[in-house]
Chain A
Amino acid sequence: MKMEATSPMAAAQARDAAENGPARPVLEIRHAMKRFATPEGQEVVALDDVSISVAPNEFLTLLGPSGCGKTTLLRVVSGFEDLDAGDIFIDRQDIAGRPAYRRPVNTVFQTYALFPHLSVARNVAYSLEIAKVEQAETRRRVSEMLELVGLAGFGERRINQLSGGQQQRVALARALVARPKILLLDEPLSALDKSLRGKMQQELKALQHELGISFVFVTHDQEEALTMSDRVAVLGQGKLQQIGPPHELYRTPSNVFVARFVGESNLFAATVSEVGPAHCHFRLADGQEVRLPRRDGQTFSAGDKVQLLARPEDARPSPPDNGTGLRFSGPVREVFFVGTHYKLVIGTSEADEPLKASLPAGEDLGAGPAPGQMIELWFPASRLHPLAGEVGS
């Protein structure tokens, strides 16, 4: 389902970008630059040439470590910060210089920022009252909205009489009631406990689907990003590292930063030993060699230092006789049983870092590998993905 929904969109966007024609997206950020001067007299580059566009009805997630510029990106869109350079278009209109209160975007703040002196209903009605919407109409839309977020009957409560999850819903209702073109959500779920969080993730997704509003969702939780989004934009040090559908980010990250940040990873240092017309050969430090098909846009030349990425779940316990891949063996250091899988940490002589493997907890594994036991693993070539650059970067 999700794949079908996202791929035409991604294709359309690619076409847009190629034609460089009039922007179809509801939100388009072009070459955004933002620097801050710190009190210590230094300069922080919060946004470094970031270009992102958001399609109608898209759920886009901004993912990145703390301080990478996610909040800053939302704030330049909502109008609380000005860009040093670059442009922002909402519905094809350049909104430079337009004050925050005249932008058709609404925000769900990380701390909710609900008005403590107003009731739940008045909080939700706020934007309608400002827009001088008729009273009866306001009442109708507020109760409709409260019902939608599951808070029917809570209208007269005060904000401090609500739980964290309920406050979260009020913030959502308040931001959505005026039907913005784009909803910006800055880590809206980070204050909730894990189970409530999972529930809210599903509800948010359902709500977005129902309302047909584009969501730009900020999180530093990669699992949340992968499960909820149509596309994910990974930010690191103010730069856009990669943008694409979750599976693309996970399977074919464009650099080591993305590979490490999205999902768990094993990275093997390798050297390009041979470049053919359709394939590249990579040699590991321990002498193993593997041949991988060349992908679009990969420009390796012989002698380049690269990293080969293999996800823990790509590990196979018993290598078949035919088929290419990488073999490793070593003692099991730790075993975690997670129901469907055994997660193993394996020490190998070659890799600097211990290997991570995840094996299905089928019958053949029984009670699972024991710590200290020697184990042999195999990663099929089809699951390996070469990345340019050193691990440290």
Chain B
Amino acid sequence: MKRYGGLSRLLSVYGFLFFAFIYAPIVLIVVFSFNANPVNMMIWDGFTLDWYRTIFGFPARLTESTLYVESTRQLYGAVRNSLLVALVASSVSTVFGTAIAIAVARFRFRLKSFYRAFMFMPMIMPDIVLGIALLIFFVSTGVKLSVYTIMIGHCTFLISYVFIVVSARIADMDEKLEEASADLGANSWQTFRRVTLPLILPGVIGGGLLAFIISMDDLVITYFIAGVDSTTLPVFIYGMLRRGIKPEINAIATIMLVFSIVVASAGLYLRARRK
């Protein structure tokens, strides 16, 4: 027993370091977003909400020169685009991803495992390849780049994510339940509405939320297929970064972090409640 004492302490240290490694940068960003020092973020200069004020377009107490987000209107536009793209792309992907997951799990058809592997492809494909491919596709078909091309582009890989999450849920579901429903007189649609959908709903919601967050987050692919007026939030932030790391970015990052946590918690809560 004694011999494990040292090992166990070592493991605790390892555990601590592991989580510190993951979370320290995130904690730093949150802390820095309240740091009043406008020049060097690493030096704590007192608590301020100025960076939040700035990004929300309220007059800051600071001088014009430090005001980095020149146009709050641009930021709002980017946020609005991001939300719109994420909402549409994740909704469309949820419908199609779920439909494909059900088809692959329930119907017999030729080349089924081929199709299943096909559904994984967009996930393992490098983002940059997908981005370039989509760009070339849109340009060569003469489609003007806009928020709509972003939506279409996002759907191509978000469907895969929904497919995988929903497939896992269907695999847990007893196929006999659908047979029982048919046995009791329900046709395919009634069975889907009354049995299949309610039982896979946590997976569908989970897949949809995951798709939403991934869409909100995507930089590489969006970067290629975004039009001039269709900047999304990640693209906008990336643009800001190229002009130097400024404190406002910490504030934006913190808000996005909170937003993601809220969305994820909502998902987890819904999931727990259905069980």
Contact = CB atoms under 8 A, between A and B. Distances in A.
Nearest to A171: B180
B201 to A, nearest CB: 9
Interface stretch (A57-65, A107-115, A192-200, A360-368): A107-115
A178 interface: yes
A131 interface: yes
Interface residues of A, number: 24
Interface stretch (A98-106, A246-254, A326-334): A98-106
A78 B184 contact: no
A106 B198 contact: no
Given A106-B184, A127-B185, A130-B190, A116 B179 contact: no
Contacts of B182: 79-80, 99-101
A343 interface: no
A109 B186 contact: no
Contacts of B176: 109, 111, 113
Contact of B199 (A79, A113, A117): A117
A99 B185 CA distance: 10
A130 B177 contact: no
B187 interface: yes
Contact of B174 (A113, A126, A130, A178): A113
Contact of B183 (A101, A111, A114): A101
Interface string B48-89: 000000000000000000000000000000000000000000
Contact of B186 (A106, A117, A130): A130
Nearest to A127: B184
Interface string A166-190: 0000000011001000000000000
A107 B183 contact: yes
A126 to B, nearest CB: 5
Interface residues of B, number: 17
Interface in B177-217: 177, 179-187, 190, 194-195, 198-199
Interface in A59-106: 78-80, 99-102, 105-106
B183 A130 contact: no
A99 B186 CA distance: 10
Contact of A78 (B183, B194, B198, B199): B183
Nearest to A100: B182
Contacts of A130: 184-186, 190, 194
Contact of A113 (B177, B186, B187): B177
B190 A113 contact: no
Contacts of A127: 184-185
B107 to A, nearest CB: 14
A126 B181 contact: yes
Contact of B195 (A79, A105, A106, A115): A115
A111 B179 CA distance: 12
A131 B194 CA distance: 13
Nearest to A106: B183
A111 B176 CA distance: 8
B185 A101 contact: yes
Nearest to B175: A113
Contact of B184 (A79, A99, A111, A174): A174
Contacts of A116: 177, 199
Interface string B135-167: 000000000000000000000000000000000
Which residue, of B177, B184, B187, B190, has the highest number of chain A Cβ atoms within 10 A?
A: B184
A77 to B, nearest CB: 11
Interface string B34-46: 0000000000000
A60 B187 CA distance: 29
A77 B90 CA distance: 43
B113 to A, nearest CB: 13
Given A109-B180, A130-B190, A178 B185 contact: yes
Contacts of A101: 182-187
22 contacts: A78-B183, A79-B182, A80-B182, A99-B187, A100-B182, A101-B185, A107-B183, A109-B176, A109-B179, A109-B180, A113-B174, A113-B176, A115-B180, A115-B181, A115-B195, A116-B177, A116-B199, A126-B181, A126-B194, A130-B184, A130-B185, A178-B184
**5 tightest A-B contacts by CB?**
A127-B184, A113-B180, A113-B176, A100-B182, A130-B185
Given A113-B180, A117-B199, 9 more contacts: A100-B179, A100-B182, A105-B183, A106-B183, A114-B180, A116-B199, A126-B184, A178-B184, A178-B185
